[in-house]
Amino acid sequence: MLKAIIFDCDGVLVDTERDGHRVGFNRAFRQFGIAAQWDVPLYGKLLQVAGGKERMRAYFDEYGWPAGSDTEDRKDALIRDLHKAKTEITAGLVGEGALPLRPGISRIVDEALANDVILGVCTTSNPVFIDAVLDLFGPERKARFGFVHAGDVVARKKPDPAIYELAKQSLKLPAHECIVIEDSRNGLLAAKGAGLPTLITTSTYTVDEDFSEADRVVPELGDAPNINITLADLGELAAEHEAA
């Protein structure tokens, strides 16, 4: 029997990357007077690096650091300040309604809560941002999420399985009673590395990634009349994991 669903945030709860985080980074760069502009193709390349702070560091390492970033301490401070500004910007976009929940997410959450299934989130996103995303569910649903593991809660980010190992510690359930919903290969590798069954809902930037290890792949969970995944389907996938 399915007892827990663990959601990634970006690309799963909300399709945030292209019109959310990318926009937030660009606005933060302008705010700090930095001549950087991440277009859609470049951001797709940068998404191979998990974590926003890590993504900016990889970009500056390749394309050059802004003036004044001549020591590691100054680089660290710049990354920290940029990321804080970007998080405030993207959280604001969510609050303004610019980044709605993906189709089927509210439905599957309601099905889970009606059946006493525990809900959790494992994301590299900043806790402030995921808090804004969870506000989209309304206060009653939000309050019933059992845990949120976000940001730098673990030292090694996806595709390392550390964050899903932490989720297993929080749940104290066998793997076949849980299922992860992810949208990226990095997320899939992290969940599978922790031995958890995983459903993929592809998102804007991940539709062409390799998901051969996934238990199932769909474009979205879907709402009526185009429902792709029900709570019963998730339970069957988890049970198949036990049989395997």
Q: Does the pLDDT of residue 160 top 90, yes or no?
A: yes
- Range list of H helices, 47-71: 52-63
Count of alpha carbons within 13 angstroms of residue 80, beta-carbon side: 7
Q: Does the pLDDT of residue 244 top 80, yes or no?
A: no
Domains along the sequence of the chain with CATH: 4-16+100-243 (3.40.50.1000), 17-95 (1.10.150.240)
Task: For the chain, give the mean pLDDT.
Answer: 95
Q: CA–CA separation, 176 vs 241, rounded Å?
A: 6
Q: Return the ∠ at Cα 178 (arms to 181 and 17), rounded to 5°.
A: 15
Asked if 10 is an active-site residue, the reply is yes
pLDDT tens, 183-229?
Answer: 999 999 999 999 999 999 999 999 999 999 999 999 999 999 999 99
Percent of the chain with pLDDT over 90: 93
Instruction: State pTM to two decimals.
Output: 0.90
Q: CA–CA separation, 48 vs 205, rounded Å?
A: 10
Q: How far is CA 48 from the centre of its chain?
A: 13
- Per the document, the length of the chain is 244
Residue 148 token pair: 């949120």
pLDDT of residue 242: 73
For 188, the 3-state DSSP assignment is helix
Maximum alpha-carbon separation in the chain:
57
Percent of the chain with pLDDT over 70: 99
Asked if 8 is an active-site residue, the reply is yes
Find the catalytic residue in 8, 183, 215, 233.
8
Whether residue 223 contacts residue 33, with contact meaning beta carbons closer than 8 Å, is answered with no
Q: Does the pLDDT of residue 74 top 80, yes or no?
A: yes
Peptide bond into 100 cis (omega under 30): no
Q: Which residue has the tokens 């506000």?
A: 135
Q: CA–CA separation, 192 vs 210, rounded Å?
A: 14
